[in-house]
Amino acid sequence: MLGMAIFAVGSAGCALASTTTELVLWRLVQAVGACVGPMLARAIVRDMYQGVRAAQVLSTLVLIMAIAPIAGPLLGGFLVVSGGWRLTFWAIVTISAIILLLVFFLPESLPENKRESSSVLAAFRSYPLLLRRRTFMRYVLCVCFFYVAIYAFITASSSVYITRFGVDPRYYGLLFGVNIIGVMVLSSFNRRFVQRYSLDFLLRISTAVAGLASILAVITVAADVGGLWGVAVPVFLVFSMNGIVAACTNAAALNSVEPAIAGSAAALLGSFQYGSGIISSLLLAVIPGERTILMVSIICAFVLLSAVMGFPKAPEEKPKERLQKQEAA
C-alpha cells in the first residue's frame, strides 16, 4: 500500500510539474513507488508456491508484464492526442488509486506460523547473506546478464533500425512489438515446459539458443549480410527466450532461500535484474564504434555470460522428484 501511495503521489506531481527539473524529480518519486510492485509480486509467489508451480505462476506474470510495452504506448499515445501529456499522468494516478483500493483487500500471503517480526534494517542485513549464497547468486547473475543484453537492444534498436536500415518510425514500433509477442508466446509455453523439464534444463536450453542467435547476429552484421533481417531475426530469438529465462531464474532463485527472507531476496533480484539497464546504457555511451556492431556485440557477450551462469555444476532434480519433496515437506 505504501508503494502504491508513493507511486500515486509521484504521478500527481508529474502531472502538476511546471519545469523539466520538477518533472524529473517527481519521476524519481514515482519510480521509488513503482519498484515495490514487481518485488512484492515475486515474494508473494514464493510465499504461496514452490518449484514447478512457482515457475508456472511466474511465467504467467512475465506474460502479463509483456503486454505493458505494447498496451502502454498505445494507450499513452491516445491520451496525449486527446488531452496532452499531463492527462497521461492523471490516468496513472487514477489507475494507482484503483490498485491501492484492491491491495487494501489483499490478504497476507505468508502463513502466520512462518511470519517473523522484522525491520528495514534487518532486511538490509540479509543482503550480505544472500550475496554469499552461490546458488541464489548464480540465478541472479544469469538473469542480470541476460537483461543487460535485452536493455542493450531496447536502448540502441531505434537508432539501428531507423538510422542504419532506414525503417520508417511508424513501422519501428511493429518490429519492436514482434519481440514482445515472442516473449508472450514463450512464457505461455513455459507453463507447460516446467511440468516436464527441470528449471535448470530449461535455463540451459533457452540461454544456449539465445547464445547461438546472438553469435549469428554478430556474424551477419560483421559480414554485412542479411540487412535488417540479419539483425531482426536473431534478436527476436534472443528477446523471446526472456519468456523462459526470467520465469525460471526468478523461480529457482526464490526457491533457494527461506520464506523469511523471500522479500529481501526478491528485492535484491529485482535490483540486479532491472538495474542491469545501467550497464548496457553506459557501455553503449562509452564504447566508441558503429552502433549496430556495438549493440549486437554487447548482446552476444552478455547472453554468453548468462549461458555460463545457466549451466549448473551440481546435479539437478527432475520435476517429479521436486514435487515429491515439496509434498513431503
pLDDT per residue as tens digits for the range 314-323: 444 444 444 4
What average pLDDT score do residues 133-161 get? 93
- Amino acid 84: pLDDT: 86
> How far apart, in Å, are the Cα atoms of 275 and each of 25, 70, 72?
19, 22, 21
pLDDT (average), residues 192-214: 93
Choice between 278 and 274, residue whose per-residue pLDDT is larger = 278
pLDDT in tens, 19-56: 999 999 999 999 888 877 777 777 777 777 776 777 78
Q: Is the dihedral of CA 281, 306, 186, 210 positive or negative?
A: positive
Cβ burial 188-199 (10 Å sphere, 16+ → b, else e): bebbebbeebbb
Instruction: Tell me the backbone φ, ψ of residue 17, rounded to 5 degrees.
Output: -60, 140
Per-residue pLDDT tens digits for 59-104:
787 777 777 766 776 677 778 888 888 999 999 999 989 988 888 8
Phi-psi region of 80 (alpha: psi -120 to 50; beta: other; left: phi over 0): alpha
As a whole-number percent, the residues of the chain with pLDDT over 70 amount to 88
CATH topology for 135-311 is Growth Hormone; Chain: A; (1.20.1250)
Confidence of residue 299 (pLDDT cuts 50, 70, 90): very high
Residue 311 phi, psi (nearest 5): -100, 105
Q: pLDDT value at position 329?
A: 46
Average pLDDT value for residue range 163-178: 85
**pLDDT above 60 (res 1):** yes
Helix (H, G, I), strand (E, B) or coil at 289: coil
- Mean pLDDT value across residues 192-209: 92
Average pLDDT of span 137-160: 93
pTM of the model: 0.79
- pLDDT confidence bin for 123, thresholds 50/70/90: low
User: What residue segments make up the domains of the chain, in order of their start?
Assistant: 135-311
Of 31-45, 185-199, 206-220, 241-255, where does mean pLDDT reach its minimum? 31-45
Show the cell assigned to 62: 512475465
- Closest alpha carbon to 280 in 263, 295, 300, 262: 295
Predicted confidence band of residue 303 (pLDDT cuts 50, 70, 90): very high
Instruction: Label residue 327 by pLDDT band (50, 70, 90).
Output: very low
Residue 110: DSSP 8-state = S
Task: In whole angstroms, give the CA distance from residue 119 to residue 102.
Answer: 25
What pLDDT is recorded for position 228? 94
**Phi-psi bin for 45: left (phi > 0), alpha (psi -120 to 50), beta?**
alpha
pLDDT tier for residue 14 given thresholds of 50, 70 and 90: very high
pLDDT band at residue 270 under the 50/70/90 scheme = confident
> Which phi and psi angles does 111 have, rounded to 5°?
-55, 145
pLDDT of residue 45: 75
Average pLDDT, the chain: 84
pLDDT of residue 119: 56
Long-range contacts of 157-163 (CB under 8 A, 24+ apart): 157/235, 157/295, 159/291, 160/231, 160/291, 160/292, 160/295, 161/228, 161/232, 163/291
Better-scored residue on pLDDT, 277 or 206: 206
pLDDT at 176: 85
pLDDT at 317: 44
State pLDDT tens for residues 220-247.
Answer: 999 999 999 999 999 999 999 999 998 8
